Each structure stands twice: as C-alpha cells, then as structure tokens.
Structure 1
C-alpha cells in the first residue's frame, strides 16, 4: 500500500506564525479585519493589492479555526441559487491562485460528484440542475451506468448522480495561510495572538477596533469573525441569529482510487488527496453541544431542526460546563477571547460509522484505517447562506460571516467582493440575498439543503 506522504495534513500540523517576529501594532489603518480565516485573509489580500493600509487581527493563528478544519471542497455544485454567482466568481479565481500566490495550495480541478441513492434524490438533483443551468452550466446529470463508470470501485448501486467537472479541491490550511502571507508581502499587518474585544464607533460610525493589546483606529472594519461574529454585532445593536454546530472529520491512510471527484452521498463525504489518503466525514450529520448560548435565536432554527431532526446529535457535557465556568468566573475581556483555541473533540462514534460506510460502499482493503480525526465549530445561519453586507445603520462596517460550513470554496470570491465594498461601496455581484436585516424583516427563506 502507498505510504502516507509528508504532504501537510489538516489542521494543526500545518499551522505556523505568518511572521516569526511580532510586528509593532499600528495605531491607524485604512481597514481593519477581524478574523484570520479564509474570508479575512482573502479580504486582506485583495485590499492590500489595491494599495490600502490593512490590519488583520486574529486571536489565535491564521487558519486555526474552521477555515483550517473543513473538507476542502471547491464547488459550484448543488449550492443555493443565491450563492451561485459568488461561487462562479470564486471558481474562476482558484485555478490561477498557485501561480499568483507562488505557493502550493493543493489546488486540483478534479470535479465534484453527488450520488443519488434513490430516484427521489435523483429527481431533486435534476430539478436543481435545471434551475441552475444558466449559471452552473457545467453541471450535468449522470445515469446509474454512467455513475458506475466514474466511480468504478463503488459497490453499491445508485440511481445516478449530479456531476460538475470544473469543480475542484484545495488544502484549507495551506490556502488560508498562503493568502495571509501574500497580503503581508503586499504590506498588510497580520497580527496573530491579538484578539479583538470590541468594534469602536464615533457618532455611530466605525472608528476602529479595541484589541487586547490596544486600540487601532480605522474608518472601515470588516467583521469576518466566524462563530463569534454575533458578539461584535450585538454591541452595535445589530442582530445576527447565529448558532454553532460541531463537525467531525477524519484522515484515512492512503487507499486505492475511490473517487477522482470530491464525493458526497450515502451518508459520507470524501475528498481523496494526492497521496491517496482521504478526508472523510459524515455527509450532513452534525453535533449540537448545548451551552448557555444554545437557546439564543433558537426560534429561527426550529423549522429546520424539526424537518431534519435525524441529522443532528444533541449533547450536554463538557462544552456546557466550560461555558458556564467562563461566564461565572472569567473576567469580561477573557470571556470575549477564550477559548482562544478551543479543544474541540471529534465524535468517535461518527468516526467509526463513516469508516464503516466507506467500507460498505467501496471496494477497498478491509484493514483500511483512520490516521487521525478532528472537529471544528461551524457557524450557521437559519437559511444556511452567509451575510455579506454593509449595514447602513453603522457606516464603515462590513459584515462577512455565517457561511454555514461551505465558505472555504467561496473564499476568493468573497474577498474580491468585500474589497469592492470597502473601496467602491458596491460590488459587481448582487448581494441582496445576503443582507443582514433579512432576519429582522423575516424575508429569509428555508435552507436549500440540511444545515
């Protein structure tokens, strides 16, 4: 069997400080970005390319949270129709990024395939393909026989599949860190171990960011803080009904070719990497760890919870106790910054279940094993599409958050759009469906797919 290569494995083993020496914290900037994930780093890169003085603050390391822990799919396929223009923009950028950033990010145009276990699911994919054909023109339906040709080691007979040849994959940590380093080379200040405490305003307009190490002044602030975005926005009297779910991911030892394309179906998601190892996860099953914040905005999520009850696992344990301890005993500033890098435990039951499904559905060595597993917190919104907006009630603020587990592939497109918002006050792509006030106004729609 092929040996596991030294190709970096997500997430923590490829994390490193963007600069080996701490920078002197600037007192002023044109733009401050909160969050060192894929949205924050791409925004920093495209803004720095425009010549702006950019400061990015991250309480831990770049890519240390969900942007370094996701599956690494880069897809237009089966997205909410509202996301498709943004996904198409991102996909037009990905193929040239390794040359542009001058570093390996694991990009490969290997396609994406979603298999349908039954005719009902096949019809659902077909309906999406017809609705999306003007934008996602490369997506096409496969019959059962055609699917077997694309995935010859698939043992289970399926009704067919949805396939997009032009989709691909990249390594989450490598790509996110590459954008941060490129932004730094363009003159951006990437401040790791520097947590944001509060967005400052003067006469209701943005005036800077108070960090744990002091105040940085700027007329524009981009909130790309992922799962903690609602905390910053609530202080500005902006409501974001954001919740957190836990997703478990595993890395297998190198295997024979299972699927050239990124694969979803029959309860599992697979991304096979260059050395044959696979990123493996449950297709849609996630954990909800009860904390004191769980009931916040719960009413927005009840319809989805009731409709897709079987895809959620509810847990009451260490996260609740830790959260209670922080709220009762920790200082106010510490509560905003901790846990700086949460110890997110993978669900071992799901690790075993997904490996079992892999062996059940694919021809493969029975001794195939998991090398390691990890988990990440996904910030979700009730309609499972993001907020990308500059709310008029707080001039100078741009919000880019709530990507609900499928923001990595959108990253370069989001960074491009955010840079346009910051410099021109508008973007080439309509962002009407991503407005923050859709939740207050009640104009948001049910999720396109289960959260």
Structure 2
C-alpha cells in the first residue's frame, strides 16, 4: 500500500498550446513548474497517473549534504537553501526540519571512509564532523551497540514526501501552472528539426520546449525515440511506525538500517544496506556498465527473477503516437514490498536501539529508484533533439535535491545563469 498523498486540485482542461510542457508530476517536474511560473513562463505538467504517486512520495524524506561527492555537493547545498524557504514560498509546511543526519561506523575502516569524505569536501565549509562513540550515545541515547565513530551533520534535514509534493504542486497551480493527471505523453511532435509539441492520449499540445522528468519511465520514453539512457531499477522497501517515543530527532543511518523521525510522531525505517533488484531485460542489456558502481556503492543488492521480468517484457519498447503507450498501461508502478528486508531492518535496528522493540508497524511500501551507472542524475539538453531537456536518473537522491535540480534544469532551458555547474550532470556522458 502506497503512502497517502495529501490531495491536490488539478484540472482536466488542457491548453492547446503553452511554452513548456513538463512530462512527469514528481517532485522534480512539479518544482520545475513552480520555477517556470514564478518566472512568468507558461507551463503544463502532464502526469500519466497521479502526481507524486511513485518514488517522489515513497522515499525516505532525507535532505542531506553528507556523503555527497565533491561534484554533486553544490547541488545539495543549494537544495538545502531552497528547502529552507519552501514553507514561505508555497504557503504550506512541507515538514522540513533541520534536525541533523548521522552516519554510523562500526569499524575503523568505516570511520576512515567518513574521514576521507570530510577531507574531500573540506573546502566547502560544511558543518559535518566526526563524533565519538560517547558523543553518539549522548546525541542518540538508549543504544546498545558500541560504535567506533559517527559522521554527523547538524544542518542536514528531513521533509515529508506526502506533504512536500502537495505544497509545491498547490503553489505552482496557484501561480498559474496547469497540472493534468491521468494524461500520458505518448511522443514528441517535431517541426523543422526541433520540438514543436507533445502528443498525449487526449490530443496534442503545441509548445516550444519539453522537460522530461519521468523517473524510471524516462529510459522507455527516450528509447522509443532511438535514444539510449542507461538507468536500471532498484526497489527499496520502507516502513513507518505508529507514533512512539524514540531516541532522537536526528536521522540515523548504519550499514544495515536507517531511521528518521516523522512529523506525525512515528519513524520511517528501512534496511539501508540492501536494495532489491527485480531483474528485467534491461539488466541483460546494460548491466555490465554498473559493475564498478555495484562494487563501490551497492555491494549488497539482492537479485530476484520473477513477475517483474515478464511484466517488463509485456510492455512495448516501440510504439506509434496513435497507439496506446506503456505509460497508459501502467499508470503507477507499485512494486511488491520485500518483507525479508523489512524484517531485517527492524531486527537490526532493535538490536542497536531496543526501544524499537516496542514499535508498531503502521504501513509498509516499496518504491522504485532509477539508477545511473555513476549514481548522478542527467540534467540538461539533448543535442539530438533541440527543445528537449532532461532531469532524470536521480539514483535515490531526487527528493532531497529535487528543488535545486529543477531550478538548474529550468536555468539551462531558459538561458539563465545556472544555479550550479551543470558539468557533472551533462546528458552526453551517458546518452547513446
């Protein structure tokens, strides 16, 4: 069962023409729409299902700078700044709280990796620091594990995915954006060698530019155009507890669990050290590109072969703009919860902080993460298709960096000075 998103009043009325069409109503697409209307640029957001119904509402809600690579850290820093002003900007509290994030190290080797990261980002002036086991006990009391050290960033934060997307969408609509749900984009329409509009299941909309922010669906959309975007799906299983007294407001990540306090008084918990990879034909097509990243970042990926493989085979890879698209056949991708990972998360966490033995699970869900070979998103123009810009492939970081990534994409579309250097995210590094 997916998290319940606070409802947004969208529209069924589509304009015949606009300036920008955004494909995808997740946090990046909605944030881009907000930036566009604030700059006086007409925009229509088209979502094949319900807004933020996939990973944008299913993520952990962490907003962090900690452990970002040096090339990616500026985007995270700008995202934090934008999150700080989100309640005032939208008129709705998105649950943003700078209550800190801490990564725990059981061993000296793990602590050394944290120290190496601190050294790599020293020039950025972050408030991140190594803390001792005694400091961990003071900051997150009640634990039974003897931790070697922790990497703590007091200014890191959290927000509520089920509130934040609603806040951003509501503000964008109030300022003039058009948001249409249950309307899939089947294809782009071209004229004179550049984008001239989009073909939807309800008809065509003329536009000057298109922003593709389709998450795990972006690869299939581009593939229909003969453009290869290497992204693979990884499923994360998550649970939330009923309201309870817990050890801290600080969000905590260890090698085999994580938890963070929720605005409703409960906790969001996952098995941080393991993700599930439901095998699909794409794993056979492009999987070898991921071997270096798997060794470095996702060593504990659980692999399964079953219904997802057959379901993916059944979805078309190529289709005409007059035909029903895969996006109409699957309005919302709702992966199965991996109960084994849920059990592991609760067992590992309860052993470390026994107070969680008293936790009552209120809900479990799973979300699908679109992962690139270098774990960095693709943000920028597609040279082969003038008028098309991408903001996708966020590799599990889309919620935290979403507002900044969206602004960067809009900057690049409109010729404004970019919020941060777009070089790490250039599409040509991955597209083929």
Q: TM-score, normalised by structure 1?
A: 0.90
CA distance in 1, matches of 2:185, 2:117: 40
Moved more, 315-324 or 344-353: 315-324
Matched, 1:80 2:80: no
2:90 aligned to 101, 105, 113, which one?
A: 101
Q: Which residue of structure 2 lines up, in the alignment, with residue 213 of structure 1?
A: 202
Moved more, 339-348 or 303-312: 303-312
CA distance in 1, matches of 2:188, 2:283: 24
Q: Which residue of structure 2 lines up, in the alignment, with residue 412 of structure 1?
A: 403
SS of 2:302's equivalent in the other structure is strand
Matched, 1:36 2:36: no
Stretches of structure 2 lacking an aligned partner (at least 5 in a row): none
CA distance in 1, matches of 2:356, 2:406: 42
Stretches of structure 1 lacking an aligned partner (at least 5 in a row): 1-9, 442-451
Q: Which residue of structure 1 lines up, in the alignment, with residue 238 of structure 2?
A: 249
1:355-434 alignment, distance < 5 Å = 355-364=346-355, 366-424=357-415, 426-434=417-425
Alpha-carbon distance change, 323 to 368 in structure 1, aligned in 2, over 3 angstroms: same
CA distance in 2, matches of 1:302, 1:107: 35
Deviation of the 1:203 alpha carbon: 2.8
CA distance in 2, matches of 1:36, 1:327: 22
Deviation of the 1:306 alpha carbon: 5.2
CA distance in 2, matches of 1:55, 1:49: 14
SS of 2:94's equivalent in the other structure is coil
Q: Which residue of structure 1 lines up, in the alignment, with residue 146 of structure 2?
A: 157
Q: Which residue of structure 1 lines up, in the alignment, with residue 345 of structure 2?
A: 354
CA distance in 2, matches of 1:269, 1:415: 27
CA distance in 2, matches of 1:11, 1:98: 25
Q: Which residue of structure 2 lines up, in the alignment, with residue 142 of structure 1?
A: 131
1:89 aligned to 75, 78, 91, which one?
A: 78
Deviation of the 1:348 alpha carbon: 0.6
CA contact (8 A) 1:18 1:62 kept: no
CA contact (8 A) 1:208 1:219 kept: yes
2:184 aligned to 174, 195, 216, which one?
A: 195
Deviation of the 1:284 alpha carbon: 3.0
CA contact (8 A) 2:12 2:181 kept: no
CA distance in 1, matches of 2:396, 2:360: 26
| Aligned residue pair count | 429
Deviation of the 1:368 alpha carbon: 2.3
1:13 aligned to 4, 10, 22, which one?
A: 4
Q: Which residue of structure 2 lines up, in the alignment, with residue 5 of structure 1?
A: none
CA distance in 2, matches of 1:57, 1:71: 25
Q: Which residue of structure 2 lines up, in the alignment, with residue 435 of structure 1?
A: 426
Structure 1 runs (4+) deviating above 6 angstroms are none
CA distance in 2, matches of 1:416, 1:322: 35
Cα RMSD for the two superposed structures: 2.0
Alpha-carbon distance change, 416 to 308 in structure 1, aligned in 2, over 3 angstroms: closer
Q: TM-score, normalised by structure 2?
A: 0.94
CA distance in 2, matches of 1:220, 1:75: 31
Moved more, 265-274 or 353-362: 265-274
